Structure 1
Amino acid sequence: MVDSSNAPAAGSSRRDSGHDSGNDTATEVASGTDESARVWRAGRLDPMPIRKLPEAPPAIHLLGPTVFLVALGVGMGESYMWPRLVLVFGPEIRWLFLVGVTLQAFVMLEMARYAMATGESIFTGAARVFKPIMWFFFVVAILVYIWPGHLSAGAAALEEITGIPWVVSACVGLVLVGIVFSLARVIYNLLENVLSVLIGTLVVGTAVVASLVGSWGDLASTLSGMFHFGYFPAEAMSGAWFPILVGSVAFAGPSGMQQMWYTLHLRDSGAGMGAHIPRVRGLRHAGEEEAMPSRGFMFDTGDPKEMTKWRGWRRWVTFDALLLFWGITMLVTVSFTVLAQAANRENPNVKALIEGGDRDAALGAMSDAFASVGGPVLGGVFFGFIALIGVNATLGLFDSFSRGQADMTYFFVPGARKFKMSHLYAGFLWGVIVFGILILLFGPAEGPSSVLDILAFLSTFAMGAYCVVLLLVNNRMLPKPIRPRWWANVIIGFGALFYLGMLFYSLIRFGVVVS
């Protein structure tokens, strides 16, 4: 058992027992005279003891676990892939971005449903349905996220400013990330504070520069372009561009497994029943980590007071999803789209360069647009933003990957519980750092090109797969009163068809996957 004094700041926790509603048929509720023995049975894993749900904090807030999704989501998709599409097809193509990021906001809400109700990650939820599903995501994470691609892109942008070889700055950055995470007392607290500052700088900075470079006409066409539903030029259906569109829609916000890792950040923030679970500490403070329970907890869904608290938590996470996640992601991509249109005026031939295969032409053109209003110094600021995006993504990805792999290892690898969760986290963290340095020094920075197509395929496939997992977990493993409504299931089902359908159409029709 975990002492409630260690619960994070998102809400205080009491270890009192609750009552189960006893009105669900999908799982069994054990009853008896000893109230502390009451449990919620879900799947074939250990049952979840009934505990009190902490009081929800105010719905309107500034900081929270969503900052991790924003850091992971505001990456090369928003700053590079979508501006490139705008330069080629015009701002009307952004309706696909609106669909992608809105769908991910709903996915975020459904990921949060299970995590806040149980204190478990979605990986454990998947294992309650069928353990091989969880192991699929364990393998995909290793295949997709061990490559230091985001940091390499950020380091290359930093080289444009400082002249420091990108390999040197990337290797130094990897080591610094490992040291900072290892020294942190509570890793979540450190990252939330750091990423909040970095994201704030990025959002404000890009908005200010976009206002200097762009025009009101650029802003109007950017906003109106989001609502040109069905706009799909003939060129977009070619083998050269359709796979890129598929990848861009998947990268409208966090891609791959990043939404699944969000459930672990929710837990460490103390959201909902996560307040009953110890937090992951840095390697230096691993000895202070409390004993990790073998399963999550469930609250009494038949108690009106508990359900009132649950609705408070849902309002809290809905605010995160709609304003912080959807709003900030949209604001950043609007700024970069305005920049792309300004870049098109400064470099009228940029579209031809991109269509001719120059993948970096969009970045160079946007840098020129920066420079047009402030000289070379301001042009360098653009590359500073790209470097900042690389730092954000690297911090978020390395933490999330290590957190997710440690979680699955601790609970499902025999003998792993001899170690603390913090030790396993550190092992995966330094493992991916060492691998990244070796790749940077002795191999291609992002892995062989033949492997990248497979990795991109797996990343988008994982998004369709986790939509299916969400439907199974939330509708089979949770008590009926807190299961998703029919319209939420329809939206998540659409997400599964959307991602998997486009991906396999690209594969069958053009013989290629995400580019």
Structure 2
Amino acid sequence: MTEDTREVSDEDVYTTREEGRSYYGSSYMPTAYDNLDLAPETDGYPDRGRPDDRGDSDAGFRVLDLPRVPKLSHVVGPSAILLGASLGSGETLFWPLLVATSGWGIYWLFVVGVLTQFFINTEIQRWTVATGESVFRAFERVGRGWPLALLVGGFVSLGWPGWAASAARIGSIGLGIEADAVGVAGLELATWRVAGIGLLALIWLSYQVTPVMYNVVERVQLLLVSLSVVVAVVLFLVTGSAGELAAVPGAVAGGASLPAEGDVALVLGGIAFAGAGGYLNLSQSLWVREKGYGMGRYQGRVKNPVVGDDSEPVQRDGFTFPPTAVNLRRWRGWWRLVQLEHLLTFVLGLAVTGTMLMALAAAHAPGTTDDAVVMWTETVVPQLGALPSALLFVALFAALLTTEYGIVESVVRNSADVVYELHGRRAGWALPRIFWTVLTAFVLWGIAILALPLPYSLERPFGLLVAGATLSGLLMWPYTALLTVVNTTRLPEHTQPGWPRLVALWWATAFFGYFSALLVGDWLRVVDPTFATELGVLGSGPGGYLLFTGVGAVQAVVVVLSARGKLAAGDTVPGADDARGLLG
């Protein structure tokens, strides 16, 4: 009986307990890469694209069986890192402020934002689980300009230490030393600035203690996330904020609402950071590769060039698996695992923690007009007793620190991958060395911002956090559109998103496109009132209509290309239905 016709057993699909334990940290399986067969250019394998798209004469995928599927408890980690990167932005700052300012009528937008990012984030993982390649390599196969544009956008939106600054300010206020000054290298710096510099240095040092740099990030983030969530639950219970949740059903039944037009930037920032947002989300691809999800287990990990052992080759071109009965069942298992890990860690963690902090803000700072940091420290804290106040400072500090840690990790890992694939590999540079260099440069950049006098004030950094968040929101529109097209036109039938998921991606593209048009119109109307954009579209100026028309044109192209890709792939791989699962 051949593999394609025999009955597939659970032993064929799932790992043993001993093998599953290899995923506790991260898992890598070396291969004789150059001896493996190249995948044929047929319907059963990913489309490698045209050589002139990349300037490569050979960009084929190597053929290997998909690894067996571990248990969920063995692979929790990538989504926990993303959760940590989220807590100190949307769930600690943006959404508590939005609810305190506008009431629970805006809560629906938080829920929609989180669920929308669930589909985006798992689609970011799809290409990597199916091929081992990063999402940036997938985009490069479309055009070399895409990864470079995302790198620039990521640095512009996240390239300053706003979360380290905010964490340091919160910690200094909590300890009562905010007004003190410290002499450093001939400079008189506020204590919170020195603390911020120390936090960035601590983040850098943490990478130097383990050969596989991903492992320490995962463990630190799990610790900080657990601390933030536990303290948030305690605060929610002891401050009497639970009663606020009774207002949610009535607010939702009363109809959806949005803040005033002037708060479009805050709203888009909140939507983007109803989760990690922007450039951060793209790290999911690299984290699942480091963890060893699917074909990423063959692709290699980034070792520390200072304390690491022998490096592992991160191949230029990835892997693919033949669509046998066993591999199709394994793909179904892997895709179920990807969704469960993200749903139970990221979505549930955000929903619970974010809602509790929103309730706390709504109960103690209704109608506030302050920024989020001021709201917590000057409005909420004075209303609490000594112990709840101390716990709130701990929760805020831990959440902001874990976000800064996640931002450093994300910006560095994404940027190192882009630099390596676009130039470093051909130049003979080692990926671990690029990673370490970018890490060091990025941390030094943040230290310089905190240490040197600048033309703008960092005393209340929330305004710059809003600017970074809105730029992250703008970044999500083009890459969600591109991701939708790539996953439906470059992947074979059995690894493509199903129709319900494709509809969710169309929604995500339209969702971020609409708010991006609103925001750009809000910016441009300052110099030209004809670019005014209205929430209901109707009533916008001529320039505003032009912006919405542009978004609609992009949406139409995305729908047509992705639907055509799905239809063209239909019934091209025998047994493809065996690979489909819930929300496949």
**Change in 2 beyond 3 A, CA 1:254/1:446:** farther
- Give CA-to-partner distance per residue, 1:399-453, whole Å, 9 cap, x none: 1111111111111115665232111001111101111111111124499999888
Corresponding position of 2:448: 438
CA distance in structure 1 between the aligned counterparts of 2:66 and 2:251, rounded to whole angstroms: 40
Corresponding position of 1:83: 96
CA distance in structure 1 between the aligned counterparts of 2:167 and 2:77, rounded to whole angstroms: 25
Corresponding position of 1:206: 232
Contact 1:11 1:55 in 2 (8 A): no
Contact 1:127 1:134 in 2 (8 A): yes
SS of alignment partner, residue 386 of structure 1: helix
CA distance in structure 1 between the aligned counterparts of 2:129 and 2:482, rounded to whole angstroms: 17
Matched, 1:49 2:72: no
**Change in 2 beyond 3 A, CA 1:303/1:337:** same
Q: Which moved more, 1:179-188 or 1:189-198?
A: 179-188
**Change in 2 beyond 3 A, CA 1:313/1:14:** farther
Matched, 1:231 2:250: no
Question: What amino acid is the match of 1:148?
Answer: P
Q: Where do 5+ consecutive residues of structure 1 fail to align?
A: 30-38, 345-349
Corresponding position of 1:429: 439
Q: 1:88: how far off?
A: 2.0
Question: What amino acid is the match of 1:47?
Answer: G
**Change in 2 beyond 3 A, CA 1:415/1:193:** closer
Work out which of the residue numbers 216, 223, 232 in structure 2 matches 1:197: 223
Structural mapping, 1:9-408, within 5 Å: 13=29, 15=31, 24=43, 41-44=48-51, 46-59=59-72, 63-162=76-175, 163=177, 165-222=191-248, 224=249, 227-228=252-253, 230-232=255-257, 236-239=259-262, 241-286=263-308, 288-300=310-322, 302-344=323-365, 351=367, 353-354=369-370, 360-369=374-383, 371=384, 375-408=385-418
- Give CA-to-partner distance per residue, 1:33-58, whole Å, 9 cap, x none: xxxxxx96345351111112111112
**Change in 2 beyond 3 A, CA 1:451/1:92:** closer
Q: 1:341: how far off?
A: 2.7
Percentage of pairs with the same residue: 26
CA distance in structure 2 between the aligned counterparts of 1:183 and 1:127, rounded to whole angstroms: 33
**Change in 2 beyond 3 A, CA 1:19/1:335:** same
Q: Which moved more, 1:378-387 or 1:448-457?
A: 448-457
**Change in 2 beyond 3 A, CA 1:486/1:467:** same
Q: 1:477: how far off?
A: 1.9
Work out which of the residue numbers 462, 474, 481 in structure 1 matches 2:487: 474
| Structure 1 length-normalised TM | 0.86
CA distance in structure 2 between the aligned counterparts of 1:123 and 1:446, rounded to whole angstroms: 36
CA distance in structure 2 between the aligned counterparts of 1:178 and 1:454, rounded to whole angstroms: 25
**Change in 2 beyond 3 A, CA 1:216/1:55:** same
Contact 2:208 2:306 in 1 (8 A): yes
SS of alignment partner, residue 282 of structure 2: helix
Q: Which moved more, 1:92-101 or 1:161-170?
A: 161-170
Question: What amino acid is the match of 2:223?
Answer: V
Q: Which moved more, 1:11-20 or 1:123-132?
A: 11-20
CA distance in structure 1 between the aligned counterparts of 2:461 and 2:389, rounded to whole angstroms: 32
Residues paired across the two proteins, number: 482
Question: What amino acid is the match of 1:257?
Answer: Y
SS of alignment partner, residue 254 of structure 1: coil
Q: 1:353: how far off?
A: 4.1
Corresponding position of 1:32: none
Q: Which moved more, 1:283-292 or 1:208-217?
A: 283-292
SS of alignment partner, residue 502 of structure 1: helix
Q: 1:367: how far off?
A: 2.1
Corresponding position of 1:33: none
Contact 1:257 1:462 in 2 (8 A): yes
Q: 1:280: how far off?
A: 1.1
Q: 1:476: how far off?
A: 2.0
Contact 1:154 1:390 in 2 (8 A): yes
Contact 2:61 2:318 in 1 (8 A): yes
Contact 1:119 1:296 in 2 (8 A): yes
Question: What amino acid is the match of 2:275?
Answer: G
Q: Which moved more, 1:148-157 or 1:464-473?
A: 464-473
SS of alignment partner, residue 360 of structure 1: helix
**Change in 2 beyond 3 A, CA 1:65/1:172:** same
Contact 1:439 1:445 in 2 (8 A): no
Q: 1:205: how far off?
A: 1.1
Contact 2:151 2:418 in 1 (8 A): yes
CA distance in structure 1 between the aligned counterparts of 2:40 and 2:420, rounded to whole angstroms: 31
Q: 1:219: how far off?
A: 2.7
Matched, 1:506 2:528: no
Q: 1:292: how far off?
A: 2.6
Matched, 1:492 2:508: no
Q: 1:66: how far off?
A: 0.8
Corresponding position of 2:562: none
- Give CA-to-partner distance per residue, 1:369-392, whole Å, 9 cap, x none: 4x2xxx224313212211111210
Q: Which moved more, 1:195-204 or 1:150-159?
A: 195-204
Q: Which moved more, 1:291-300 or 1:324-333?
A: 291-300
**Change in 2 beyond 3 A, CA 1:429/1:340:** same
Contact 2:160 2:446 in 1 (8 A): yes
**Change in 2 beyond 3 A, CA 1:417/1:278:** farther
CA distance in structure 1 between the aligned counterparts of 2:252 and 2:346, rounded to whole angstroms: 20
CA distance in structure 1 between the aligned counterparts of 2:470 and 2:362, rounded to whole angstroms: 30
**Change in 2 beyond 3 A, CA 1:198/1:229:** farther
Question: What amino acid is the match of 2:210?
Answer: A
Q: 1:506: how far off?
A: 3.0
Corresponding position of 1:34: none
- Give CA-to-partner distance per residue, 1:138-182, whole Å, 9 cap, x none: 211222222001110100001012226110111111112112213
CA distance in structure 2 between the aligned counterparts of 1:14 and 1:308, rounded to whole angstroms: 23
CA distance in structure 2 between the aligned counterparts of 1:23 and 1:61, rounded to whole angstroms: 34
Q: 1:328: how far off?
A: 0.4
CA distance in structure 1 between the aligned counterparts of 2:476 and 2:428, rounded to whole angstroms: 33
Structural mapping, 1:451-462, within 5 Å: 455-462=468-475
